[in-house]
Structure 1
Amino acid sequence: MIQHSVFVVDDDPAMRDALLLMLRAEGFRARAFSSASDFLEALPPDKSACVVTDMRMPGLNGTDLVRKVRELRGDSWPVIVITGHADVPLAVQLMKAGVVDFIEKPFDPNRLLESVRGCVMSLNSREADRAAREAATSRLATLTARERQVFNALIEGCSNKEIALRLEISPRTVEIFRAKVMTKMEAASLSALVRMGMRAGDA
């Protein structure tokens, strides 16, 4: 499982240090930046990460940062906003911009940690799904033309007899090809094979 980074962006040195200390104590790989500009100029190469940012900062503010991160990294970098000046219109605006959580100061440290854990769990789940799609696509590429026909029919829900009629081969031959497909796709059951077909179709 990937250890996702947590990037803290806050112009308050005391708050930055406190957040880093708290996150690292919980086992997160955390790094801090003193401004949105500094963060964007030194934008880390991580494919996915969690960003915790203050709202009001000199230069680019939290809203600007949220929009820029969304533009550059999409939803693979979920953003949590911390602010001492919350209001409903701002919260709605940020949520529409892609923020996953909006935390008001003073906040309960456990509340923030819970939010960060949720982001990381979501990223891990997404990474697992991506790996599964890639694996299914890779295995699918190893099938012969005939095996692919049998595979397609199986995930459509066809029985061996129906596949035999469709491909004009004997049911026994279908059984042989079906076994080869299950082995090459590393599918322990028909339901697992169907899930692989769905994943490969989403890739």
Structure 2
Amino acid sequence: MPDLMTLLTAPSITDEEDGTVYIVDGEELIRQALVSLLRSVNLKVHAFASIEAFIAAPRSAGPSCLVLDVQLPEQSGLAFQTSLAKTGKPHMPIIFMTGHGDIAMTVKAMKAGALDFLSKPFRDQDMIDAVIAALNWDRARLARNRALDELRARWATLTPREQEVMQHVVAGMMNKQIAASMGIAEITAKIHRGQAMRKMACRSVADLVRMMDALGACGDAQ
């Protein structure tokens, strides 16, 4: 597995972990055609006739994406996308497809976070390419999340004093300055710094800065 900093700065999108594709379309023939197409490239596929059926189904914990028709009888695909965004929680990437799309609809979907918008009829290769890109995007997102979880776990092993020292280090302070600021001996500051760097598995101050930036962005090191 790549080290933590690799995942945080440039997450891999070539992981061979299986991806799952979910399809929601009210037309059975289209669902069958998409299932056949995507399974032909060795992807796991689950198809649903409605958003309600999709919501009720179990989800894969691995990388996934949703191929969603815009026009659905009970709720439009765009309305469902909006409802997902309002939860404030990350969700699988969405690829929209429609037989009656226009530029305004496409712009709205993309601004709301859709990864692609395909007009029916679309080329098989266009759908395959869009799905592969979406799965790679989600794979990278999950890798970043795992890396951040590991980073939070490392940060939690530091004592409050060690955490304070680390914050001073990323502010550019030397051991002597840290000691003066905290009211401790310089050798004590040096010891805390060394222990914290080992616990965080930092190879350099630059590594520490990137880690602290990631934690700060999540509110863990503020």
TM-score (norm 1): 0.83
Over 3 Å counting, the alpha-carbon distance change for 1:140 and 1:44 in structure 2 is same
Aligned residues of 1:136 and 1:197 also touching (Cα < 8 A): no
Shift of 1:202: 2.9
Report the AA paired with residue 150 of structure 2: A
Unaligned runs of 5+ in 1: none
Cα deviations by residue, 1:104-149 (Å, 9 ceiling, x for unpaired): 1221222222222222222222222222222222222221232222
CA distance in structure 1 between the aligned counterparts of 2:40 and 2:208, rounded to whole angstroms: 42
5 Å matches for 1:1-203?
3-40=18-55, 42-46=56-60, 49-71=64-86, 74-203=89-218
Aligned residues of 1:133 and 1:202 also touching (Cα < 8 A): no
Kindly indicate whether structure 1 or structure 2 has the higher relative contact order, using CA contacts under 8 Å at least 6 residues apart.
Answer: 2
- Give the 3-state SS of the residue equivalent to 1:103 in structure 2: strand
Unaligned runs of 5+ in 2: 1-14
Greater share of helix? 1
Q: Percent identity, please.
A: 32
Over 3 Å counting, the alpha-carbon distance change for 1:60 and 1:50 in structure 2 is same
CA distance in structure 2 between the aligned counterparts of 1:70 and 1:88, rounded to whole angstroms: 21
Shift of 1:162: 1.9
Shift of 1:161: 2.7
CA distance in structure 1 between the aligned counterparts of 2:39 and 2:169, rounded to whole angstroms: 49
Report the AA paired with residue 6 of structure 1: V
CA distance in structure 2 between the aligned counterparts of 1:59 and 1:141, rounded to whole angstroms: 46
Aligned residues of 2:84 and 2:91 also touching (Cα < 8 A): no
CA distance in structure 2 between the aligned counterparts of 1:66 and 1:94, rounded to whole angstroms: 8
Over 3 Å counting, the alpha-carbon distance change for 1:27 and 1:153 in structure 2 is farther
- Give the 3-state SS of the residue equivalent to 2:96 in structure 1: strand
